[in-house]
Amino acid sequence: MSLFFIVIRQLAEFQAMASSKKVITREEWEKRLSNVKVRKEDMNKLVMNFLVTEGYVEAAEKFRLESGTEPDIDLATITDRMAVKKAVQSGNVEDAIEKVNDLNPEILDTNPQLFFHLQQQRLIELIRNGKVEEALEFAQEELAPRGEENQGFLEELERTVALLAFEDVTNCPVGDLLDISQRLKTASEVNAAILTSQSHEKDPKLPSLLKMLIWAQNQLDEKATYPRINDLSTAALEDPAV
Amino acid sequence: MPTSATSNHPSRPEDLIGRLNSAHTPYEAKLKALRDLKNQIIGNRTKKLAFLKLGAVPSVVSILSSAAAAQGGGGDNREFYESVLIQSAAVIGSFACGLDAGVKAVLDAGAFPLLLSLISHLNEKVADAGARSLKLIYQSKRAPKYEFLQEKNMEFLLSLLNSKNENVTGLGANIITHSCQTTAEQQALSEAGVIKRLVGLLGGSINQKDASLESLAAMVKENPEVSAKFMGPENGRALNVVIELMKDKHPRTRLLACMCLISIRNTSTSYLQDSGIKNSLVSVLLELLDDPGPVGDEAPFVLSSLITEKEDMQKIAFNANLIEKLCEHLNAGSYQAKRLQGIFLLLGDLCSKLECCRDRVLDLQVLNFVTEALAHDSAEVRTAACNFLKNVSRSVKNLSAGQFMNEAVAVPLVRLLCDSSSSVQIAALGAISNIVVDFMAHKSVLVQCGGVKQLVQLSKSMESAIRVNAVWALRNLTFLVSYRCKEEILLELTSATLISLINDPEPSVQGQALALVRNLVDGTLNSINYVFGEDGAVLHAIARQLRSTSKVEVQIQGMYTLSNVASGNELHKEAVMNQLLPQAGNDAEKTLVKFLQSTDSRLCTATLWALINLTFPGSPGTCRRVTELRNAGIITQLKNMINDHCLDVKLRARMALGQLMIFGSVWTWYTSIKV
């Protein structure tokens, strides 16, 4: 029985619970769960949606062949999008910008915040590689105008430029900018923008489902004691304290 | 450390343009230069402006032109030429994106027809590039007007809307949103079946939904027929679809759905009036105000279109705590100009009619933010702040408590009287006009900060809108003001200016000027003396205006002024009498009788007051005046008025008649005894 099945059935079960606080044993619970019907096709769609939105092209392709589930987006467009995401994640921001502009020149023209973050990432990469002079020139020519065009960016701009002032960049107050997590954040932002421009939902459905489960369990906690799923990764049912 | 000369270094702009223009550059290198240029300008407003100055646009357009011509020849180079078309179209589109100067340059260089020809290209990417760029041009006000009424154009538009390509349908919708302005155009589009197609797009992708909503709003705006057609049976449950879209995931879609519904609501008062939809609209828009992006900037304007001039909607917004939310935003700190403008616009709307709103706004200390807003860089923010002040100061309670006549408000307002933008000046005048009606007579604040000087200066402006508002402000300023204040004002104003205002070509200015004099002479004898000085030139001007004008508002103010003067001493009464009934000529007699015969009760009443004051017992010359009036046939006229349906007229006529009769009989009795 896949974890997925368990999670979804758990969720469906909550919707049929009674109103007074009662204790439900594991046996009772599992019996109820087994009465809940979930379609395989729906689950496959959820999985495909996740793979496609996150950009796992090969996995999506394979899943399609093996399960017969059709993706709701052209897999070819995923390849382009993934190339951009990968470029940002590897620190090749200029390359990423060129690719985005080839894909859809409107994206960066109509997303000042995203464009600023990409420029910011470029500066970070120059600093990381020790190219101080080039970094200064870049900051002056490319980033300062962004701050002039939009005052909301000034604070972040100051933080980024502050990197140049420190000898030991990894241990300074703004050192978090050099983390890989910063690259991932920017990459995620680009990914979302491309999806939106292609009129696709930028968030996969699966996280919403899990959030719903957690919320529903919290609601039910007020009314009953029952086997809970506490670890989403294992979807294991933990016995109620009797 | 030497910098490495890698391809990371962008080319100097001048070099880039040089390569594009030079006949010696091989075509492959031009393609690379185009791509390079594209990547430099996208997202970068500063670079766009720099390249515009270097004449980049004509260069790129000529490359586009030659590529379009060359690829007609076919052959191996087709793919290459298509790349050139794509890149040059993208560059042109980027220049036009959100930049008016760019749109102008692009249109001037003749890019428009070239881009049009790309839409029907077989290569999807080329068609996309052309459609995108045209779409961006049509998002600007500078785009060429699309003539829907020409059959060929309508056919072309329909072909765009029916395309399978999302960018192309988007272009069609944008054209409608931009160019559909007249009723005839809305009608023509509706008859061509455009609504049906747009409604179809409502079920499409996010971009299609958004584009369609905007176009529908443009089509139904102020057009009840098209509005009704939209909601008609042939369009299915289109209205319900739009209402559902108010709950869409995407903030921009929600905003546009609201905009569309408001457009319908404001056009046909029989639709969308139930409280459910009213509350939904308010709550959706309220939530959108919090959006940090462009949607949050636009939301206040959409909300304003919903509540402006509509008391019931303002009440709903008030109950939904809109004021509190706006204050939160003000407290949160510096916003972009557009958002600040939106906030003050909404506050102005809310305070326009409802006292509860004005109270709440003042309780929450919003006035603390006004000083800064009045000095903001953006003229639109300054105007919005002034209009807000004008509306909130309609609160008599707070006005008389002296809430507004303080330095924090008065001083920056007066400064705005010499603002470079005339719309700011007019808005400031509007605010000052209200604020000076201050019953606690703290008007010296205004006088001290040079306000009177400014107002007098503006009363001589060439723009009639400014003149009228300036005089209005002066009029309000002189209401119930101290004698000393009147002196100061008149000293600044001078009789000569006053006379020229009374004789102003605009009737609205004449009316305000006369009302100003009326306020000036109101009060003690000194006031009257002061205004009329030695030569009575002002009085003369008033009387002359009364004789020549046909506008009843001007007549009323003039008559009340004369009436006030006639409440003075013998000299004053005589002066008025001479003006109303001069010895020579019949015209003046007619004026007095004419006014008494007016169908406007207000004018009759004003004239009656003048008569009453002229014939008031106790003054030496009253008898003489009574005789003159009797001889002019006034008694007959008055007898016709003693049963008038208007209470004011009836009572004043009886009073005047009574005075005339008493004197008449006394005089007759006296003379009869004498003889």
CB–CB contacts below 8 A, A to B:
63
Of A15 and A47, more confident: A47
Q: What is the pLDDT of residues B421-441, one digit of tens each?
A: 999 999 999 999 888 887 555
Residue B189 lies in a domain: no
The predicted-structure confidence for B469-502, as pLDDT tens digits, reads as follows: 999 999 988 887 778 888 888 888 888 899 999 9
Token look-up 């590529």 returns B67
> Given an 8 Å threshold on Cβ–Cβ distance, is B1 in contact with A101?
no
In 3D space, the residue among B225, B267, B227, B262 whose CA is nearest the CA of residue B243 turns out to be: B262
Say how far residue B347 (Cα) sits from the centre of its chain: 16
User: pLDDT digits over A197-230, tens only?
Assistant: 887 777 889 999 999 999 999 999 888 888 999 8
Q: Which residue has the higher pLDDT, A163 or B111?
A: B111
The answer to whether B121 contacts chain A (CB < 8 Å) is: no
**Nearest-CB residue to A199 (from B43, B136, B206):** B206
Question: Which DSSP category does A40 fall into?
Answer: H
Q: Where are the domains of chain A?
A: 2-38+204-234, 106-197
Q: Where are the alpha helices (DSSP H) in B393-494?
A: 396-400, 407-416, 422-435, 444-448, 451-458, 464-477, 483-493
CA distance B134 to B167: 10
B467 and B508 Cβ atoms separated by less than 8 Å: no
Q: For residues A199 and B205, is the Cβ–Cβ distance under 8 A? A: yes
The predicted structure's pLDDT at residue B589: 58
Residue carrying structure tokens 């993208």: B90
**Average pLDDT over every residue of A127-146:** 89
Q: Which residue has the higher pLDDT, A149 or B373?
A: B373
Does B94 reach chain A within 8 Å, measured CB to CB?
yes
Dist CA A83 CA A190 (whole Å): 11
> Any idea which residue has 């030659």 for tokens?
B66
pLDDT at B2: 41
- Give the nearest partner residue to A131 out of B3, B93, B207, using CB atoms: B3
Contact: A94, B8; criterion CB under 8 Å: yes
Question: Residue B495: its pLDDT value, please?
Answer: 86
Closest CB to A109 among B97, B207, B208: B97
Region of A23 please: left (phi>0), alpha (psi -120 to 50) or beta: beta
pLDDT at position B41 is 94
Which residue in the set B93, B207, B293 is minimally distant from A105, CB to CB?
Answer: B93
Which of these, B310, B261, B266, B309, lies nearest to B285 by C-alpha position? B261
Cβ distance of B45 and A149 shorter than 8 Å: yes
Once rounded to an integer, what is the mean pLDDT over residues B204-229?
Answer: 91
Least confident range from A115-119, B236-240, B597-601: namely: B236-240
Q: How confident is the model at residue B93 (pLDDT cuts 50, 70, 90)?
A: very high
**Chain B interface, mutation test: which of A74, A80, A100, A106, most B Cβ atoms within 10 Å?**
A106
Count CA within 13 A, CB hemisphere, residue B104.
7
Mean pLDDT of B155-163: 93
Query: Alpha carbon of B224 to those of B227, B228, B238, B312: distances in Å?
Result: 5, 6, 16, 22
Domain endpoint, select from B112, B144, B176: B144
Partner residues linked to A238 by β-bridges: A228
Residue B89: closest C-alpha in chain A = A105
Beta bridge partners of A224: A22
The reply to whether B223 falls in a domain is no
Cβ contact A105–B43 (<8 Å): no
A109 touches chain B (CB under 8 A): yes
Are the beta carbons of B312 and B318 closer than 8 angstroms? no
Identify the closest residue of chain A to B45 by CA–CA distance. A149
Question: What ipTM is given for this predicted complex?
Answer: 0.77
Q: What confidence score (pLDDT) does residue B437 get?
A: 81
State the CATH number of the domain containing residue B128.
1.25.10.10
Q: Which of B468, B487, B486, B466 is nearest to B477 (CA)?
A: B486
Q: Which residues of B touch A97 (CB under 8 A)?
A: 39, 42
Residue B643 located in a structural domain? yes
Tens digit of each residue's pLDDT (9 = 90 or more) over B241-251:
999 999 998 89
B451-458 and B464-477 helices, crossing angle to 10°: 140
Number of domains in chain B: 2
Q: Let me know if residue B18 belongs to a domain.
A: yes
By C-alpha distance, the chain A residue nearest B2 is: A133
Q: Which residues of A touch B98 (CB under 8 A)?
A: 109-110
Range of the domain at B102: 12-71+78-144
Look over chain B and give the mean of its residue pLDDT values, rounded to a whole number.
87
For residue A172, give every residue at least 6 positions away whose Cβ sits within 8 Å of its Cβ, in sequence order, or none: A162, A163, A165, A166
pLDDT of residue A172: 83
User: Is B263 inside a domain boundary?
Assistant: no
Contact yes or no for B365/B409 (Cβ under 8 A): no
Is B635 part of any domain?
Answer: yes
- Tell me, yes or no, whether B30 lies in a domain: yes
**What contacts B310, CB < 8 A, 6 or more positions away?**
none
Residue B324 token pair: 């509190």
Q: Which of A232-241, B56-65, B107-116, B315-324 has the least mean pLDDT?
A: A232-241
Q: How confident is the model at residue B443 (pLDDT cuts 50, 70, 90)?
A: low
Cα(B637)–Cα(B13) distance, integer angstroms: 86
By Cβ distance, the residue of A106, A108, A142 closest to B132 is A106
Last residue of a domain, one of B144, B175, B195: B144
> Torsions phi, psi of A81, nearest 5?
-60, -40
At A174, the pLDDT band (50, 70, 90 cuts) reads confident
Partners of A134 on chain B (C-beta within 8 Å) are 3, 8
Q: Which segment of B199-203, B464-468, B629-633 scores lowest on mean pLDDT?
A: B629-633
Tokens coding B160: 């765009």
Cβ within 8 Å of B, A 86-105: 94, 97-98, 101, 105
Final residue of a structural domain among B113, B144, B175: B144
Nearest chain A Cα to B335, which residue? Answer: A152
Q: Indicate the pTM of the whole model.
A: 0.77
Q: Does B617 touch chain A (CB under 8 A)?
A: no
Percent of residues, chain B, with pLDDT higher than 90:
53
Q: Do B46 and A108 touch (CB under 8 A)?
A: no
Do A105 and B45 count as a contact with CB atoms less than 8 A apart? no
- Pair of tokens at residue B352: 């326009």
